[in-house]
Amino acid sequence: MVKMHNNQRIGILTAGGDCPGINAAIRGVGKTAIVKYGMKVIGISDGFTGLITKEYTELSEHDLSGILTLGGTILGTSREKPFKSSGKNKTEIKKPLLIKEHYEQMGLDCLVCIGGNGTLKTAYLLSQEGLNIVGIPKTIDNDVWGTDITFGFDSAVNIATEAIDRLHSTANSHKRIMLIELMGHNAGWLALYSGMAGGGDVILIPEIPHDEDKIAEYLLHRVDENKPYSIVVVAEGIKTPGKDRSPAQYLSKRISELTGLEARETVLGYIQRGGSPSPMDRVLATRYGTSAADMIARKDFGKMVALKNNEIVSVPLAEVAGKLKLVDPNNALVVKAKNMGTNFGN
């Protein structure tokens, strides 16, 4: 390949929660920018914090080698929200101004923001301040508006499904009800997909209200049908009265009270976000990264890379910011699961 001579300097940051595939996306952006376009690539430390404190380093092609399979992010991350004030420190309002000032001092022509909903909202606000921005969607929750899928989701589904598979063994051996709590504050994509893949008997997600009595009735019906154990998959964002306990902990106790059956809970936690990305996420993150570099080369700013109908497209950040992609209760996958006997608590 003949390298195109391009004097652009681009910054890359990763913000919000970590997830598998971030390094693959960094690599995709950086290698394409350097090898194809001859750009300078600047890695910014710890999300938007690095832009506020002006902590960065230039990345060479060598720096980007060997990171495709690594979990986490070589740049570090933070949940810094520069446009959100805690009300404790008046200097906080200067953060966006500092970012703009440092962007110019670093000589950046574009900033690539890799993150989920919060990151992409901040990216949009920075674009409104006059910065050239390209966004890349990542989150295990798969709840970013404007794209069919985010990288990190497939890896998390694999991890969660394997955990459910393992719980089947214990549940069957002890004739118990096993509850597993997965991430997903607002969106139930992870619980839905891994629950279906793992053969969950009950799947509870934030978008579909549940009734404890109906869950208990269904679980007792399974026992009457000589199905001595059940798997209940719970998204962490479902509403329960037990404020001092996680949803799975609350429901485990409640189901035991309502049914007289033995129930145990497992909260999978941060295990879902760690480790090496799945092959699908490596490919998707690479596609997003390389496409982001192409967008920068043609000065297509103020947009997010997205996947629609297996085609890479760009979506205006204005359409993405502040929105969530939630599971429609009439989603085809939900309907098919119900048709096979999966209970959604209603």
Residues catalogued as catalytic? 141
Task: For tokens 């794209």, name the residue.
Answer: 147
The first and second tokens of residue 95, run together, are 């953060």
Distance CA 43, CA 213 (A): 53
The first and second tokens of residue 150, run together, are 């985010």
Q: CA–CA distance from 154 to each of 142, 218, 273 (Å)?
A: 9, 30, 11
Phi then psi dihedrals of residue 41, to 5 deg:
-115, 125
For helices 247-259 and 212-224, give the axis angle rounded to 10 degrees.
60
Q: The sheet that has 263-267: what strands, in order across it?
A: 202-204, 230-235, 177-182, 263-267
Report yes or no: 278 and 161 within 8 Å, Cβ to Cβ: no
Q: Which residues pair with 308 in a beta bridge?
A: 311
Distance CA 164, CA 52 (A): 42
